[in-house]
Structure 1
Amino acid sequence: MMREEIATMSMSEKIILMEAIWDSLETEIDELQPPDWHQDVLSDRIERLNTGQVKLISLQELKNRIR
């Protein structure tokens, strides 16, 4: 399916298509392996959190910051 075809679809047709794609991916989930660098990034972020270099904020705090 090409972008042009998708662009002509209604919103409900696009949602149905997305659901079908997600359903098809679910059956192939065992084949999906994240790249090794993902673990490196996660480990680095956890380390920075544990050492106090960064802190978590709530979604509300984030919304307040960007207003």
Structure 2
Amino acid sequence: MPFNLPLKDMTLQEKLAAMESIWEDLARTPDAIESPDWHQDILDERRRQVAEGRAHFIDWETAKTDIRKKLF
């Protein structure tokens, strides 16, 4: 079922709205989306790092602040 969006004619807001609509639809059936094996490998490695004390979690607000400091 191929279709074309008029991307060249769409505003940024229209493109973002289209992406959000697609994401919302995909999120309704998460089991239908198969993750590649390498995703699990990365998650396993990150769990090992946390368990070994080599990594830790920070809250999202702190992460955004840290990223902004590095960028600006």
TM-score tier after normalising by the smaller chain length: 0.5 to 0.7
CA RMSD of aligned residues (A): 2.6
Equivalence map 1:15-30=2 (5 Å): 15-30=16-31
Cα separation, 1, equivalents of 2:10 and 2:52: 50
- 2:68 matched to 1:63? yes
TM-score normalised by structure 2 residue count: 0.58
Relative to structure 1, is the Cα distance of residues 61 and 16 closer, same or farther in structure 2, using a 3 angstrom cutoff? closer
Relative to structure 1, is the Cα distance of residues 27 and 55 closer, same or farther in structure 2, using a 3 angstrom cutoff? closer
Matching residue of 2:40: 39
Identify unmatched segments of 5+ residues in structure 2. none
TM-score normalised by structure 1 residue count: 0.60
Percent of matched pairs sharing the same residue: 30
Relative to structure 1, is the Cα distance of residues 24 and 61 closer, same or farther in structure 2, using a 3 angstrom cutoff? closer
**1:22-49 CA deviation, whole Å, 9 max, x = no partner?**
2432344331111222112111111112
Larger Rg over CA atoms: 1
Identify unmatched segments of 5+ residues in structure 1. none
SS of the residue corresponding to residue 53 of structure 2 reads: coil
User: Deviation at 1:51?
Assistant: 0.9
Q: How many residues align?
A: 64
